[in-house]
Chains A and B, each alone.
Chain A
Amino acid sequence: MPTERKKPEFWKMMKNFWQTTNWESNLKVPLAAIGFGLLVGGVFVLTIGKNPIDVYLAIWKAMFGSPRAFLDVIGQATPLVFTGLAVAFAFRTGMFNIGAEGQFTMGMLVAGIAGIKLHWLPGPVLMVVCLAAGTLAGGLWAAIPGWLKAKRGVHEVINSIMMNYIALYVTNTLVLSAWLRDPGYQATYEVPRKALIRNFMGTTANWGITLAVVAVIVVYFLLWRTKLGYEIRATGHNPHAAQYAGINVPKRLLGAFVVSGLLAGLGGAVQTLGVKRRVFQLFGFTGVGLDGIAVSLIGRNHPVGVALAALLYGTLYRASASIQLSTGVPKQVVGIIQACIIFFIAADEIVRYLLKRAARKGESA
């Protein structure tokens, strides 16, 4: 039985994971960065004459205020796990997938279209078809800048950003077209109920979370337990050395970028089926893909780290909705905190420097 042989394999994997993780830099630096980010955000709150403690309490309550609050945080975090994984996967090949936003958007759109147009399919089949369609749409959206990078050497960042804008406008064009639009809504028709992913207690949390967990495990396995993953990571470390070792670098770059897009697309499909139920007109970027960058960075481009960072971001999302009402502080303070966390992660030398200084002060006192 394959399941019996899986068990020791799994424990070996866990042990391997525990031993190969550099806890010092992978846990201490991100946590310190989060701390410093919250502090700087607090300074901004002080400058407008409000109490930062109230803001911190609001953030705490957003996560642990009630079981429903916690479920909602899970629901907010679910799409971020997908986009965070997408960005992290591309980072491992040394590419920056700032296009997760567009790939996520296309996943939402195409999953919705599939649900509406193939409504005659039986429920479970329709659900799988929707998820697959959204996933493929994300992959396709990534394949274009990935191909341009691998074959023509055009930097992936600018093309991905252009693809984000194109996804946004394509979505709005189709959503508001006679082909899809539900009269009376700024949105498409609803996806048939039979294809929807069930949610928990009417919150945004839904069974999509299981897919997110599976994605975390698959990405970990793919990156660290397969030849393909090894080649991908080698390419990220040093493309010239990888090329010399016989790895087809352009092929790996394109492949990794497409996988990245597939993950983001799946995230979009789960969002449509699990939370939104229809595709709405967009008045700007959803932000889920862009925040996937931060989630990936805070999670140190590691699947488990990504999952934890997504929970943090889910909390901040929820908090931004309640902060303004409960404390009178503009909700954009959350954006400032988020940006500061990324600054501190990006320039981890600052964090190490500050930590060292704090430690030295502690010794001399």
Chain B
Amino acid sequence: MNLNYVTITTLLFFAVRSAAVLLLAALGGIFSEQTGVVNIALEGMITFGSFAAVAVTILTNQPWLGVLAAILAGMLMAALHGILSIRFKANQVISGTAINILAVALSSFLMKSIFDQGGHLLLDKAPKVADWSIPFIRDLPWIGPILGTHSPGVYLAFVLTGVTHFVLFHTPLGLRMRAVGEHPHAADTVGINVYRIRYLGVLLSGALAGFAGSVLSIGIGTAFLENMAAGRGFIALAAVIFGKWTPLGTMAACLLFGVSEAIQVTSNLLGIGQYIPSSLMATFPYIITMLALAGFVGRTVGPAASGQPYEVDKR
């Protein structure tokens, strides 16, 4: 092991960055699940968002337009998921699986037809979203190298965690969302439009997951890769469960998964690389996710009506 100021701060820098991407998608997962729609399609929304971000940035040379496009792309996939699972009462896990297939196929199809590229799409000369550097904080020892300079999306992820917490637990809208996820019939009886709230939850999840995709492709990186999401959508979903469907708990879970991803990324720097092959280190975040779900959580109870289509006449 090679632990010193540089390696530890580098490790934690990567951990915060990885956690933020997961967190954005996971916040989306919270909105969706709290309103009663299981969202296994987060993975596809991240993928399509990260593609849209690169594509629009190349075409317009405006990275923030790319971010906007990613949010819209995520919402497009979410709308599809919503229509299928809310309006047509499809099995939500299957609908989500189809979206994950569609997102990869559609991204590659468009990449080939518009840019004549296969496998990956580089930003090339187009700019990525410029990093934010926070004055004063960036000069602090320890904290500076870890939190001082990041892609804007990383900071926004943590800000949005607070916003999500406030909306869900301190506003009438949040109460309605939780009511719809817990007992849609009761919510319907008191005059809440169950369908509208569920669409809102799913669309918000698409927007956040799409945004997470843009952070991957034009915030941190400078390219779109077909397997860019690499299971992050699913890990984000695990973080939601681990965090007991609350934003703050989910943030803690994302930080744990972020550290495990960072250990893998920095394994050479940490001096672990020579003992364990990098392809084996790559299993680390997934194993941690499973252990977290199995050991620390046990039987968690989510929103009662999550996963069930709402039918007005069914009591």
Q: Which residues of A contact B (CB under 8 A)?
A: 44, 48, 96, 98, 148, 152-155, 157-159, 161-163, 165-166, 169-170, 172-173, 176-177, 284, 290, 293-294, 297, 330, 332-336, 338-340, 342-343, 345-347, 349-350
Contact = CB atoms under 8 A, between A and B. Distances in A.
Contacts, number: 129
A159 B298 contact: no
Interface string B9-25: 00000000000000000
15 contacts: A96-B93, A152-B299, A154-B293, A155-B241, A157-B93, A158-B237, A158-B293, A162-B231, A169-B279, A169-B282, A293-B94, A293-B97, A336-B105, A336-B109, A342-B94
A148 B300 CA distance: 13
Contacts of A349: 88-90
A346 B84 contact: yes
Contacts of A172: 279
A188 to B, nearest CB: 14
Interface string B201-243: 0000000000000000000000000110011001101100100
Contact of A166 (B108, B235, B238, B286): B286
B91 interface: yes
Given A176-B279, A346-B84, A162 B241 contact: no
B1 interface: no
B304 interface: no
B173 interface: no
A155 B112 CA distance: 37
B30 to A, nearest CB: 15
B101 interface: yes
A330 B226 CA distance: 15
Contacts of B90: 343, 346-347, 349
Nearest to B302: A155
Nearest to B290: A162
B98 A166 contact: no
A174 B246 CA distance: 39
B84 A335 contact: no
Given A169-B283, A342-B94, A347 B241 contact: no
Nearest to A297: B94
A148 B289 CA distance: 13
A169 B280 contact: yes
Nearest to A343: B98
B84 to A, nearest CB: 5
Contacts of A165: 230-231, 282-283, 286
A158 B88 contact: no
Interface residues of B, number: 46
Contact of A330 (B95, B112, B280, B283): B112
Contacts of A154: 293-294, 297-298
Given A336-B105, A347-B89, A158 B289 contact: yes
Binding site secondary structure of chain B: helix
B279 A347 contact: no
Nearest to A333: B109
Given A162-B290, A343-B80, 14 more contacts: A44-B109, A96-B94, A98-B97, A148-B293, A152-B298, A162-B231, A162-B234, A166-B287, A172-B279, A297-B94, A336-B105, A343-B84, A345-B94, A347-B84
B40 interface: yes
B138 to A, nearest CB: 35
A162 B287 contact: yes
Contact of A173 (B94, B104, B113, B280): B280
Given A336-B105, A347-B88, A347-B95, A159 B293 contact: yes
B277 interface: yes
A335 B105 contact: yes
B6 interface: no
B269 interface: no
A341 to B, nearest CB: 8
B99 interface: yes
B65 to A, nearest CB: 22
A290 B43 CA distance: 14
B112 A162 contact: no
B220 to A, nearest CB: 20
A340 B101 CA distance: 9
Interface in B255-287: 277, 279-280, 282-283, 286-287
Given A157-B40, A173-B280, A349-B88, A336 B102 contact: yes
